[in-house]
Amino acid sequence: MLWTGDPGVGQMLTTAMFILISLNSVSDTAQNTLDAQLEARCKFKVHDIITCENERLNLQCPDDHSLLLTSIAFGRTDLYQCPHPSIKSTDCSSDTAPGIVRGECDGKNACSFEATTRFLNGDPCGGTFKYLNVSYTCLGQFQL
Ligand SMILES: *[C@@H]1O[C@H](CO)[C@@H](O)[C@H](O)[C@H]1NC(C)=O
C-alpha cells in the first residue's frame, strides 16, 4: 500500500469515510465536532463561505481534488450576516437545500450556482432575506 509507514494517512482515511457516512445523519453540533476533528487530525483546511440570497456561489478545488461539503444551511440564524431591511426570523433553515447543494457539489472539482429559493427548492421563511452558509474541504485522490 502506498501509505504504509505514514501513520497519519490511515487515520485520515478513516476520518474522511466516517464523515462521509455521517454527513446526512448528524446534528449540527455533531457536525461541528466532526469538522473540528477533520481539521485537527488531518490538517484539511475547512473553508466557510456565506453567500447572500440571490448571489452566486463558486467553489473550486485545486486540480485532482474534489469537494466535500461538511455543512450546508440556507436560511438565517444570524442577524448581521447579509444585512437587509426584511428580516423576520433568525431561526430559519431550509430542509431541501442541503441535498440539492450536495448533489451539485460533492465529489466535483468545482461547482457554481445561485443561492435562490427557486434553485434551492423552496422558501423556508418568507419575508426574511436569507443566506447560504457552507463549509467545505478539498480532498485529494488518495484521501477518499
Ligand atoms: C455558518 O455555519 C457554521 C457551521 O454550522 C456556524 O458555526 C456559523 O455560525 C454559521 N454562520 C452564520 C452566519 O450563520
Domain holding 78, by residue range, is: 46-143
Task: Look at residue 66 and tell me if it is in a domain.
Answer: yes
Report whether residue 77 contacts ligand 1, using a CB cutoff of 6 Å.
Answer: yes
Task: Look at residue 108 and tell me if it is in a domain.
Answer: yes
User: Residue 114 sits in a domain of what CATH number?
Assistant: 2.60.120.740
Nearest C-alpha neighbor of 59 from the set 107, 26, 117, 116: 107
Residues 6+ apart with CB under 8 A from 54: 114, 115, 116
Which of 32, 77, 79 should be mutated for ligand 1, with most atoms under 8 A from CB? 77
Task: Look at residue 15 and tell me if it is in a domain.
Answer: no
Q: Which residue has the cell 440539492?
A: 100
What's the rounded Cα separation, in Å, for the pair 123 and 75?
A: 8
What's the rounded Cα separation, in Å, for the pair 107 and 131?
A: 23
Task: Look at residue 98 and tell me if it is in a domain.
Answer: yes
Closest residue CA from atom 7 of ligand 1: 32
Which of 32, 48, 81 should be mutated for ligand 1, with most atoms under 8 A from CB? 48
Task: Look at residue 13 and tell me if it is in a domain.
Answer: no
Task: Look at residue 79 and tell me if it is in a domain.
Answer: yes
Which pairing describes strands 92-93 and 65-76: parallel, antiparallel, or unpaired?
Answer: antiparallel
pLDDT of 4 reads 44
pLDDT 10s digits, 87-127 = 999 999 999 999 999 999 999 999 999 999 999 999 999 99
Task: Look at residue 29 and tell me if it is in a domain.
Answer: no
pLDDT 10s digits, 55-65 = 999 999 999 99
Give the whole-number percent of the chain exceeding pLDDT 70: 69
Task: Look at residue 87 and tell me if it is in a domain.
Answer: yes
pLDDT of 21 reads 47
**CB 96, CB 66: distance < 8 Å:** no
pLDDT of 98 reads 98
When divided into structural domains, the chain yields a total of 1
Q: Which atom of ligand 1 is nearest to the CA of 80?
A: 13
Ligand 1 centroid distance, CA of 73 (Å): 8
